[in-house]
Structure 1
C-alpha cells in the first residue's frame, strides 16, 4: 500500500512538472512578436489522463493554442509589416499565472504524499525491528 502511494504520487509529480514546464514556456514567450506572414508562438497545454486501476495519472499529449495569435499595431517594431502590424501569441497572462499556481500546489501536494509515505514505511520498519 505504501509503495502504491509513492508510485501514484510520483506520476502526479511528473505530470505537474510537465504542466509547470508548459506554463513556463507560455509565460516566457507571451511577448514574442513575429511578422504577420509567419505564425505566432503557440501556447502549450498539457493533457492529463488517469491511468488504469491504481496507476495514477499521466500526460497523454499536448494541445497547442492558436497560431493566428493577435495582431497589434506597432509601426515602429522591427518586424512590423507595411501596414505597421506585428503578430503576438494569444496568451492570457492571468490564466497562465493561475495555471502556474495550480501546477505548483499540485506538485507540492504530491511531494508531501511521497514524504509521508516514506515516513510511514520507515516507521513500519522500526516496528518490525522491535
Structure 2
C-alpha cells in the first residue's frame, strides 16, 4: 500500500506545482496590463499550498487558496495610452518579473521532481507485478 501512497502523494505535488505554474504564467502575461487610474490594477496570483491529511501517513499537498497581489499597483506616466487619465497616467500591476521568473523555475523543478517520483513508483509497481508472475 505504501507504493500507492507514494504515487498519490507525488501526484498531489504535481497538481499543486501545475497550479503554481498557471499562476506565474498568468502574472507574466498580465505584467503590462494597463488600467485607468480610477480602477484597480491587475492583481498578481500567488498559490498557497497546504498539507493534506497531515500526520496520517497518507498525506500530500493541496492548493489551500490563492493570494492576490497589490490592487493599487503603480502609477505610470503614459500619455499615449488610450486609458490614460487627464494627467497622462495609467495604473500598472506591481509585478516583479525577476521574482516571477524565479518562481517559474522553482515550480517547474518541483513539478519535474514530483512527476519523476510518480514515474519511478509506477515502474516499481510494474516490476513487482512481473516478479509476482514468476
Same fold (TM over 0.5): yes
Q: How many angstroms apart in 1 are the aligned matches of 2:4 and 2:106? A: 26
> Match for residue 115 of structure 2?
111
CA deviation string 1:75-123 (max 9, x = no partner):
1211111111110000000000100011111110011001100110111
User: Which residue of 97, 104, 117 maps to 1:100?
Assistant: 104
Aligned with 2:125 (options 108, 116, 121):
121
Q: How does 1:23-62 map to 2 (within 5 A)?
A: 23-52=24-53, 53=56, 54-62=58-66
Q: What CA distance in whole angstroms lies between the structure 2 residues aligned with 1:25 and 1:69?
A: 16
Unaligned runs of 5+ in 1: none
Task: Find the partner of 1:85 among 65, 82, 89.
Answer: 89
TM-score calculated relative to the size of structure 2:
0.95
What is the distance in 2 between the residues matched to 1:76 and 1:57? 46
Q: How many residues align?
A: 130
Structure 2: give runs of 5+ residues left out of the alignment. none
| Secondary structure at 2:9 match in 1 | helix
Q: Match for residue 18 of structure 1? A: 19
Shifted more, 47-56 versus 84-93: the winner is 47-56
Rounded Cα–Cα distance in structure 1 between residues aligned with 2:4 and 2:15:
16
